[in-house]
Chain A
Amino acid sequence: MLHKLLRLPQGKWMLALYAVAAIALFCAPLYLSDFRLNLLAKFLAYAIVALGLDLIWGYTGILSLGHGVFFGLGGYAMAMYLKLTASGGRLPDFMEWSGLTALPWFWKPFNSFAFTVLAGILVPALLALILGYFTFRNRIKGVYFTILTQALVIITTTLFIGQQAYTGGTNGVTGYTKLFGYSIASPGTKTVLYLVTVAFLIAAFVLCRVLVKSRFGKVLRAINDGENRVRFIGYNPATYQMIAFSVSAGLAGLAGMLFVLHVGIISPSMMGIVPSIEMVLWVAIGGRGTLVGAALGAILLNSAKSVFSETYPDAWLFFMGALFVIVVVFLPKGAAGLFTQLKWFKRKEAGHEGADSVRYPAV
């Protein structure tokens, strides 16, 4: 029952549930401490990445282990803007250490907030489009595409670490002070930034929802089920894959920008291989192929990480590992798959065994 409701966005129940969730998120500043609110804001930014990843992996069946790069590019765009504001016309501190005497040309446009926001979304989206153009059109797929995304991660992080004068190197970019003249550290600004993040998360959710429910989304799922068949019917899968990958990267860039506003630092370690894989884990654990599952996965896993590491600083990694094993072994479709399983079980009891074909591929 419950699952059926979850599947039906038109259903009043479902709408009510979404509304309650949205209200709960918007009211969070009333019942969370500043610190917890800041953490939740960070998790919500992660949820936006998870939504984008779900679009490309859960629905289209293309596994990207390179979303850390798109996330990082968005993050660096925002970081550059904030750093320039904080430096107040002078050279950012790390450029001085590294021996630069003038601001590099590609830093200059980041004095403008509008440019920063555009770049933070469009640069990752464009990079994804280019990568997609060369891979999907040449029918590079499956594990080969995944390996290419890993290569992208290594290239980008090495470049960012190596070019210390331009990117801040391993330290990354930190030490921001103001956003639009407001102190970025004050609780008031943080609450506003949190609410902005909630709004963006909802917008991203609606966007993904509309995409997957549209004809476009149906083609994506068809590509997942049988790419060649889609091609024979007369669609060009490459175009759809490129667009989905690009939207997904744009969302990751948006999330990166929000992340920097909440956390106050971006460094190459956040766009590396480990975070890229972690992002995929959120989606896998939360429930691949369901948007709510992906978003919840990001929020729940990161909450668990924070709670475990605070409670058991010496042994928290074991708890995280146990959690992964439990979910993967007993819930191959993620937490959201629990509903499917319950329904499956019910149907079987009623004697409808095998009637419900598995809709999503196993993780």
Chain B
Amino acid sequence: MSQKVWKRVSLLLVALCIVLAGCSNNANNTTTTTSTNAGSEGAADSNASSDDSGEIKVGILHSLSGTMAISEVSVKDAEMMAIEEINAKGGVLGKKLVPVIEDGASDWPTFAEKARKLISEDKVATVFGGWTSASRKAMLPVFEELNGLLWYPVQYEGLESSPNIFYTGATTNQQIVPAVSWLLENKGKKFYLLGSDYVFPRTANKIIKEQLKAEGGELVGEEYTPLGHTDYSTIISKIKEAKPEVVFNTLNGDSNVAFFKQLKDAGFTAQDMTTLSVSVAEEEIRGIGADVLAGHLAAWNYYQTTDTPENKTFVENYKKKYGEDRVTADPIEAGYDAVYLWAAAVEKAGSTDVDKVKEAAKELEWDAPEGKVKIDGETQHLYKTVRIGEVQTDGQFKEVWNSGEPVKPDPYLKGYEWASSLSSGN
């Protein structure tokens, strides 16, 4: 008996040692950072510590666990690939990039906590990260407070431009607004709006409704379901009744699988009724099934099939590194772009200082896999080419329309008269 107790106690001690080891490691970190802090307090360059060592630390902050991991891990992979490629070519300013990876765990306060840790403890030069609008909104105050730099790689609902964030995904006038115009011209006037119930679909649909009013469309229905909702039979019968010509789909995640499968089971094909999605890319097609989605439309700035020499190399390298069965998609490419754009801005600025990098990034151009992109100095968004694609039976997109040239980002839709009521408060 007594042996058993000793066994327990010793095992607990082992466990405690593990915890303490972690803690002490951590305490060391803290002391070193505080000492460098104290040392460089007077100095103007806050990156003195990383400059000395011949390394530049960059943060990568995506959900590696939880519901968003399935999407965000691919973006992390693309960013890591970009960092490796840059290091192989000699790094930035002759220094190697050292990624510091943190897990946002699909939890918004964790994103804020880890962002704070990356900036104030690790003293990273910049952070690449985020996916959901909620995670961005949680990180935004931290980056503004500590004057950090965040590169956010996902298309989003616009109406935001933080001085400490670069948005490499599309804003609404580079995805949703041109898609609606194209649909009105080519597919029909009667729209049905379906979305998950959170800020992106709500805001997107608010914009679409204004646009329909201005451009002669007609709204026949609008429906929101909670994130993760999987029963669409009621909504599909409502759609049947409303007889829209176009279903504009802003559902996110698993709901897309349920919706498209049930739509197919209800006897709808892409010929009967057009659907256009803004959150369904190559990766989601793998999950939903190409046979279910074939013929349906999506709007993005990049497809794996986008025909540029840069994209050929990008797709080849990505598959070589992570496996033949992996696909590239718009946010993955936007994450890859972000690393290169930041590196180019640092080279131009000759420093990793946030304010200097921001200044240097203005009007910076780069040949991305999606074609030429340019940073708009005013909004810190990218000029991007809009593309509408049709899902093929092999799970890839065939581009059916593009904007011809990169579209200037307009997050507040100031260039659209009908949108004047949307951003009035801001």
Interface residues of A (CB under 8 A from B): 32-36, 38-39, 42, 90-91, 93-94, 96-99, 158, 161-162, 164, 169-172, 174-176, 185, 263-265, 267, 269-270, 300, 303-304, 306-311, 313-314, 316-317, 319, 323, 326-327, 330-331, 338, 341-342, 344-345, 348-349
A97 & B108 in contact (Cβ 8 Å cutoff): no
Indicate the member of A170, A172, A263, A341 with the most B CB atoms within 10 Å.
A170
Judge whether B9 and A171 touch: CB under 8 Å: no
Complexed CA–CA distance, A309 and B114 (Å): 9
Q: Does the CB pair B203–A33 fall under 8 Å?
A: no
Nearest chain A residue, comparing its CB with the CB of B111: A265
Q: Say whether A98 contacts B202, CB under 8 Å.
A: yes
**Complex CA–CA separation, A270 to B112 (angstroms):** 13
- CB pair B198–A170 under 8 Å, yes or no, is yes
Q: Which residues of B contact A (CB under 8 A)?
A: 1-2, 5, 8-9, 11-12, 15, 18-19, 22-23, 25-26, 30, 33-34, 37, 64-65, 101-103, 105, 107-109, 112-114, 116-117, 120-121, 132-134, 137-138, 140-142, 145, 157, 159, 197-199, 202-203, 206, 226-227, 424-426
Contact residue among B64, B101, B113, B206 (Cβ-Cβ distance under 8 Å from A263) = B113
| Cα of A210 to Cα of B426 in the assembled complex, Å | 51
Contacts known (A309-B102, A326-B12); A265 close to B199, Cβ less than 8 A: no
Whether A164 lies near B202 (C-beta < 8 A) is yes
A310 to B23, CA, bound (A): 11
- Give 21 pairs: A residue, B residue, CB < 8 Å, sorted on A: A33-B30, A39-B113, A42-B113, A91-B425, A93-B426, A96-B424, A161-B198, A164-B198, A170-B134, A170-B197, A174-B140, A174-B141, A176-B141, A185-B141, A304-B22, A307-B26, A313-B101, A316-B103, A330-B8, A330-B12, A341-B9
User: By DSSP majority rule, is chain A's interface helix, strand, loop, or mixed?
Assistant: helix
Give every chain A residue within 8 A of B206 (Cβ-Cβ): 97, 99
Which residues of the partner chain A approach B1 to less than 8 Å between Cβ atoms? 348
- Nearest residue (CB) in A for B110 is A309
Most chain A beta-carbon contacts within 10 A, residue among B157, B159, B425: B425
Q: Among the listed A97, A304, A345, which residue makes an inter-chain contact with B2, where contact means beta carbons less than 8 Å apart?
A: A345
Nearest chain-A residue to B116 (Cβ)?
A35
Contact with A310, one of B18, B102, B141, B202 (Cβ below 8 angstroms): B102
How distant is the Cα of A338 from the Cα of B10 in the complex, in angstroms? Answer: 11
Given A170-B134, A175-B141, A311-B22: A38 touches B30 (CB 8 Å cut-off): no
Least distance between A74 CB and chain B CB atoms (Å)? 15
Which residue of chain B is the closest to A272 with respect to CB atoms?
B107
